[in-house]
Amino acid sequence: MNAQRRTVIAAMLAAGLPIPAAFADDKLVLGFAQVGAESEWRTANTESIKSAAKDAGIELKFSDAQQKQENQIKAIRAFIAQKVDVIGFSPVVESGWGTVLREAKAAKIPVILSDRAVDEKDDTLWVTFMGSDFVEEGRKAGRWLLENYKGQGDVAIVELQGTVGSAPAIDRKKGFEEIIKAQPRYKIIRSQTGDFTRAKGKEVMEAFLKAEGKKINVLYAHNDDMAIGAIQAIEEAGMKPGKDITIISIDGVKGAFEAMIAGKLNVSVECSPLLGPQLMQAAKDLKAGKTLPKRIVTKESIFPMEVAAKELPNRKY
Ligand code: AHR
């Protein structure tokens, strides 16, 4: 510890202020409350955060909430009690964060939203929000459909939504609907949550197929994992995914590229989980007293099946 830091700590102690553990041993401590391990995307996101923390020499306290908001709230409270330097989290749902975020603010611990936003009016409760523009991802999916779907007449779409109340589920639905409403022949005939998992995606697609059978022209899945689960359901129903039913999903994970190469998935809109390095940099900047931009948007692309084989070797998740 350098002398200047020792003087600051002495002054803080004299003023009766708590000394964050990390400050005392000079290592930045980041508490991160993760959503869970629901998808290939999430696994890549966790890996990105853990390896970036290691590379940056940051002590990471990592908590997996198993897709439960109450677990994330408990984890954030534990980080506050441990006096971490910075709290990062990816909120499982948008609402219900006001109280715990006010507790973090009262403890003077800056909060970084990573990947997903919260629905809170007071935007002083977090310092920055880094991640994708989910509405734009939904728009990209909708535009691809209008530009590439070849069939005539009414187009029956089934939608597999993400976790109820989560930012990506709300925004991807909104962006997609905003685009397809321009052409009334495109109709969402069924829409249900598959909770961003393969198992649920398969189960809900089975129910869609049972109810609508060959009427279904298009599947719009809010993530690749649900699309991959649905592909299995479609094959088990004796239909050809990617041909009998056009399939659009979001994320761009390797599993989706493999499905595209096999001709079973038509397009995947990219959503990058590789937020770790950016998150560590932001935590360091905060500790150095820098001000961060309120919103940091991830740059992303879209991959139709025609480019999948060429792109797969370049994919990092
Ligand atoms: O918040 C990002 C979304 O969460 C990803 O699209 C999905 O796969 C994940 O579970």
Q: Which CATH architecture does the domain made up of 134-271 adopt?
A: 3-Layer(aba) Sandwich (3.40)
pLDDT one-digit tens code per residue, 236-292: 999 999 999 999 999 999 999 999 999 999 999 999 999 999 999 999 999 999 999
Q: How far is the CA of 280 from the centre of ligand 1 (A)?
A: 20
Q: Which atom of ligand 1 is nearest to the CA of 90?
A: 1
Q: Helix or strand or coil: residue 242? A: coil
What's the gap in Å between 109 CA and the centre of ligand 1?
26
Give the binding-site residues of ligand 1, using a 6 Å CB cut-off: 38-39, 41-42, 115-116, 168, 196, 223, 225, 250-251, 271
Phi and psi at residue 290, to the nearest 5°: -80, 155
Instruction: Determine the Cα–Cα distance for residues 139 and 148; give it in Å rounded to an integer.
Output: 14
> Which CA distances in Å does 89 have to 11, 62, 163, 273, 293?
31, 10, 17, 13, 17
Kindly report, residue by residue over 157-198, the tens digit of the pLDDT: 999 999 999 999 999 999 999 999 999 999 999 999 999 999
With the most atoms of ligand 1 within 8 angstroms of its CB, the residue from 94, 134, 271 to mutate is 271
Share of the chain above pLDDT 70, in %: 92
Which residue reads 């009414």 in tokens? 154
Per DSSP, the three-state class of 157 is strand
Residue-range domain boundaries for the chain: 3-131+273-298, 134-271
CA of 73 to the centre of ligand 1 (A): 19
Query: Which region, left, alpha or beta, applies to residue 213 given φ > 0 means left and ψ of -120 to 50 means alpha?
Result: left
User: Over the range 71-103, which residues count as b (16 or more CB within 10 Å of their CB) and which as e?
Assistant: bbbebbeebbeebbbbbbbbbbbbebbeebbee
Question: Tell me, what's the pLDDT at 26?
Answer: 75
Instruction: State yes or no: pLDDT of 7 exceeds 50.
Output: no
CB 272 within 8 A of CB 300: yes
Give yes or no for residue 39 having a pLDDT over 80.
yes
Q: Probe ligand 1: pick from 163, 195, 196, max atoms within 8 Å of CB? A: 196
CA atoms within 13 A on the CB side of 70: 0
Ligand 1 midpoint to CA 306 (Å):
24
Mean pLDDT of all residues belonging to the chain: 94
Rounded CA separation 268/253 (Å): 9
State the pLDDT confidence band at 14, using cuts at 50, 70 and 90: low
d(C-alpha 84, C-alpha 66), whole Å: 22
Contact indicator for 308, 316 with CB cutoff of 8 Å: no
Gap from CA of 26 to ligand 1 centroid (Å) = 34
The strand ranges marked E within the chain are: 29-34, 59-64, 86-89, 111-114, 128-131, 155-161, 186-193, 218-221, 246-251, 267-270, 295-297, 302-304
Q: Please state, in angstroms and rounded to a whole number, the distance separating the CA atoms of residues 138 and 167.
A: 12
d(CA 247, CA 178): 19
Instruction: Reply yes or no on whether the pLDDT at 305 is more than 50.
Output: yes
Q: Same fold for the domain at 3-131+273-298 and the one at 134-271?
A: yes
| Average of per-residue pLDDT across 18-47 | 85
53: CA distance to ligand 1 center in Å?
Answer: 21
Q: Which two tokens stand for residue 127?
A: 């310092």
Q: Ligand 1 centre and the CA of 48: distance in Å? A: 14
Pocket test for ligand 1, best of 34, 39, 134 (most atoms within 8 A of CB): 39
CA–centroid distance for 214 within its chain:
32
Residue with the nearest Cα to atom 3 of ligand 1? 168
CATH 1.20.58.1610 for the 3-131+273-298 domain, yes or no = no
